[in-house]
Amino acid sequence: MFGSLTLNKGTFASNYYFNLKALPVTKKPSSSKKPEVTNLGYDARQAPINIKLGQDEKIALYRDMVRIRRFEERCLRSYQQSKIGGFLHLYIGQESIAVGCASVMGKDDHIITAYRDHGHALAVGMGMNEMMAENYGKITGCSKGKGGSMHYFDPSRNFWGGHGIVGGQIPLGTGIAYALKYKGLKGACMAFMGDGSVNQGAVHESYNLAALWSLPVVFIIENNGYSMGTSQERSSAGPSLAQRAEGYGMNWAIIEDGHDVLAVRDKVGQALKLAHDKSLPSVLEIRTYRYRGHSVADPDTTYRDKAEIEAYKSTKDPLNVFQLALLAEQTLTDEIIQKIDESARAEAETSAQFADASPYPSIEDIKKDVYWEIDNPADRKSVGALFFD
């Protein structure tokens, strides 16, 4: 269990480990030896948060992962047809993380992430239509065509983006946690980042503030092994990314089974509980893998072997692994699988048609949503010019 594990004792009772030392931490820094991780009989299905899952809930988890994948495959086609401009960062291979995390959110839990945001958006309940339309730059998009693929938002679903600068969203997530605590709400913010974020100063400053003020934030590093085209070994010092939390006296864990949606639910659920019950932050490093390049513009030929991708796909594909597990326990049948797949493909196709048929913003729209006051003229208190063209 979460509380019984300590760090660097050699062998761990499961494939994850947690340092739950109470603040302030007086422990000596850990050795730089890479912690040994073993998988001694851990079964995420038996975790309390998962054991109570009903069949429908399990199918919903599976369906959400399929929907993300089919949506993104459709996005890729649209990009190749030049319907989508700029960047397109695909989440394919990482679906279990967004779905697992969103599935354990409570009413006052929030999510903020970086630019690889399609999975999180769908997982919190945003619709494919508004997302695809955003990719197409249409006025019907979730940000009215002003943000694009990297900048989805839906505050009504506690989803705060969608941020383009590596690590730049982490102080914001910390601030959301600050506001939750300030307002006395029993909620937390899950602040997602990639493995490339961990070397940004803003991330470390956020760690310090969160630990210093005991903010209810769960920093989630989706470690897919590559910050763009640079591997972890070539970019990040130290034995693990999450372990840097020790410097701030924060709880941390590595989740090796990032491809297992149930494992993600279990560990993230525990970290959320820690934030809810004790207002303590933590850092989770979730090991995962992306099948596509950094963005669609990345030909993915310079920094890794195709064999590496295939090896992961064949053993740890989040959809396949969960599908097999659900087939084995007869929650899923071939018929349901096919239905879910067809439905997701149709939904994605419909979203592309919706986006295609939607109008672009007008030239007048360029200057809307810049200033609250301009968009709410009846309540404007300032005078004078705010635009200068």
Name the site residues for another protein (rule: CB under 8 A).
Answer: 110, 112, 141-147, 151, 153-155, 160-165, 168-180, 182-183, 201-202, 205-206, 208-209, 212, 368-373, 375-376, 381-388
d(CA 281, CA 273): 10
Tell me how far, at minimum, the Cβ of 116 lies from another protein, in Å. 16
d(CA 149, CA 33): 39
Are the C-beta atoms of residues 185 and 216 closer than 8 Å to each other?
no
**Of 10 and 155, CB closest to another protein:** 155
Tell me how far, at minimum, the Cβ of 203 lies from another protein, in Å. 9
Are the C-beta atoms of residues 8 and 37 closer than 8 Å to each other?
no
**Of 144 and 304, CB closest to another protein:** 144
Tell me how far, at minimum, the Cβ of 89 lies from another protein, in Å. 16
**Of 12 and 160, CB closest to another protein:** 160
Tell me how far, at minimum, the Cβ of 149 lies from another protein, in Å. 12
**Of 73 and 108, CB closest to another protein:** 108
Question: At CA 286, angle to CA 285 and CA 292, rounded to 5?
Answer: 125
Q: Which among 312, 265, 267, 307 is positioned nearest to 288, based on CA atoms?
A: 312
d(CA 324, CA 331): 10
d(CA 284, CA 268): 8
Cα(first)–Cα(last) distance of the chain, in Å?
61
Tell me how far, at minimum, the Cβ of 154 lies from another protein, in Å. 7
**Of 36 and 373, CB closest to another protein:** 373
SS3 at position 223: strand
Tell me how far, at minimum, the Cβ of 87 lies from another protein, in Å. 14
